[in-house]
Chain A
Amino acid sequence: MTKTLASLMLAAAISSAQWLEFPKPGVPRLPDGKPDLTAPAPKSADGKPDLSGIWTTKPGYTGNIAKDLKPGEVSFTPWAAELYKHRQDTQGKDDPQAYCVLSGVPREHVVPYPFKILNATSGRTNILVILYEALHSYRQIYLDGRKLPKNPNPTWMGYSVGRWEGDTLVVDSSGFVENNWLDNGGHPGTESMKLTERFRRRDYGHIDLQFTIEDPKAYTKPWTVNLEFTATPDTDLIEYVCDENEKDLKHLVGK
């Protein structure tokens, strides 16, 4: 439950109420003052849907990003099958996240922490920025019409360009690191991964996300996941410094 996550986080921070409860103007409200999450999606100045806001992902996918897929839909190459088995057998001992290294994309979509989408498409800037509370990181999606670079420097977030297809923002990404983990379970991603994400804000309170993973080194065919983000208005991100209070490593001993 999304609300439970939010309240767990609140519980960790004593008397932080003021910080987290800035009522944002422009949020549609119900008669009782609560945000109306089923109101129509807002639009940017250019008439496109505005994806801005604080969002939390649908819970349940942190361990297995492909949870809803039928057997055979995620079809490993022999190399990836062995790697995935090794990661499962060693209980995530080598998970980069345990070392406070970034989750990367698309793993950020299944991490149970809020994130903020910022629409920086006015004036001279034309990008979408996503700020992640988890591990305190960010991702840039260029909307200025540039193409994906042919041989980008590999990064955890990859290099992303987006374009509108009707009311759907379609984002193509490549340039990912070789040692990617797509979830806690260790679904592999490699430098050959191409990610296509389709973001659609269906109403004020919800974004439907569909993403397709195409990574011929790890999977014999592309596979697609459907997720949903829920808006959490009137709050903001708080600082998350993994490196300051890391408790996982000593428990990660494999088998």
Chain B
Amino acid sequence: MRPWLILGALVAASPTPAQWLNYPAAGIPRLPNGKPNLAAPAPRTNDGKPDLSGVWDVLHNRPCPPEGCADMWIPQEFLDIGWGLKGGLPYQPWAAETVKKRMAENRLSDPNWKCLPTGIVRMYTTPLYRKIIQTSGLVLILNEREAMYRQIFTDGRPLPEDPQPSWTGYSTGKWQGDTLVVQTSGFRDGIWLDANGSPLTESANITERLRRVNFGTLEIEITVNDPKAYTRPWTVKLTQLLKPDTDLLDYYCIENEKDGPHLSGN
């Protein structure tokens, strides 16, 4: 089963949107058969920096059940952001208790099913597309989910000292060689990093290191430093795959939310 099955499921909900989704973008390296050459070198902007622009999907690293993949084919990190870490996430005792409680309640308090914002980490692991638009001074991430956007200021401004707490936080980025290093703080309490309910608190700051290793692959290393919830900073690495010749569709959770009635706790 391949990632495009998810796209197929999304498309199935709306008759004949093919034209919308199949616009061949200019500037994509092609193989002799016309297909995008995803192994070609990463593109660069006019100033010589790698260009992270493109529509990106999660790496589908979770096996599908025998009956087939779900419409929303989640990656391992969607359930457990610390899936790849030996020994799991270094929770503070209260955080470990919180995760246990959230799981025992069958995720009743998950902001996700209430159609609230997912926050920046979970946005990367949600199996819906996101589009990066890199401009001079600003990197923009547009997400299909809830039409949420995120701004990463690359114009040299410092992080605010006491920002207004928000789901998305306040982000600034700067280039270190070919890697865009993004610092984010200003989170609100109550953010879930994964479906297990791993918490993020107002004390958190997050560092992301984004590197486009080739035309078709984006590596995102995320370091979460949240001493209130975790005994030490921890780092996970996510892989995103380019979806060329397509674009974002609308996905409004709020318009068709079906989870709530089924989430009754225990």
Q: List the interface of chain A (C-beta within 8 A of B).
A: 13, 15-16, 18-19, 22, 25, 99-102, 118-120, 122-125, 127, 129, 131, 136-138, 140, 144, 146, 149-157, 159, 175, 236-239, 241, 243-244
Contacts and interface: CB of A to CB of B under 8 A. Distances in A.
Contacts, number: 114
A46 B57 CA distance: 32
B164 interface: yes
Interface stretch (B77-85, B136-144, B176-184, B198-206): B136-144
Given A136-B146, A144-B26, A243 B114 contact: yes
Contact of B135 (A100, A118, A152, A157): A118
B19 A149 contact: yes
Contact of B147 (A16, A138, A151, A239): A138
A149 B163 contact: no
A123 B139 CA distance: 13
Contacts of A238: 164, 166
A118 B151 CA distance: 11
Given A120-B133, A244-B116, A151 B19 contact: yes
Interface string B151-162: 100010100111
Contacts of B27: 124
Contacts of B149: 131, 136-138
A32 to B, nearest CB: 23
Given A101-B252, A118-B138, A146-B23, A243 B116 contact: yes
Interface string B219-251: 000000000000000000000000000011110
B170 interface: yes
Contacts of A120: 133, 135, 140
Contacts of B53: 123-125
Contacts of B164: 13, 16, 19, 238-239
A152 B163 contact: no
A214 B170 CA distance: 40
Query: How big is chain B's contact interface, by range?
Result: 35 or more
Nearest to A99: B254
A210 B133 CA distance: 28
Interface stretch (B43-51, B68-76, B94-102): B43-51
Q: DSSP class of B's interface residues: helix, strand, loop or mixed?
A: loop
A125 B255 contact: no
Contacts of B254: 99-101, 243
B117 interface: yes
A239 to B, nearest CB: 4
Given A136-B149, A236-B151, 18 more contacts: A15-B162, A19-B163, A19-B170, A99-B254, A102-B147, A118-B133, A123-B45, A123-B53, A123-B134, A127-B133, A129-B140, A136-B148, A138-B149, A152-B17, A152-B20, A156-B250, A159-B20, A241-B117
Contacts of A22: 157
B163 A16 contact: yes
A12 B254 CA distance: 25
Interface string B176-197: 0000000000100000000000
Contacts of B140: 118, 120, 129, 131
A142 to B, nearest CB: 8
Interface string B11-29: 0001011011001011100
A240 to B, nearest CB: 10
25 contacts: A25-B155, A100-B115, A101-B255, A102-B252, A120-B133, A122-B45, A123-B53, A124-B27, A124-B45, A124-B53, A125-B133, A129-B142, A131-B140, A136-B146, A137-B149, A138-B149, A144-B26, A151-B17, A152-B20, A155-B249, A156-B250, A157-B147, A238-B164, A241-B117, A244-B116
A236 B152 CA distance: 12
A137 B115 CA distance: 14
B122 to A, nearest CB: 15
Interface in B1-41: 14, 16-17, 19-20, 23, 25-27
Contacts of A138: 142, 147, 149
B19 A150 contact: yes
A161 to B, nearest CB: 11
A17 to B, nearest CB: 9
Nearest to B188: A239
Nearest to A45: B46
Contact of B162 (A18, A102, A157): A18
A152 B247 CA distance: 12
Given A122-B135, A150-B19, A243-B254, A137 B249 contact: no
A123 B116 contact: no
B16 A151 contact: yes
Contacts of A137: 147-149
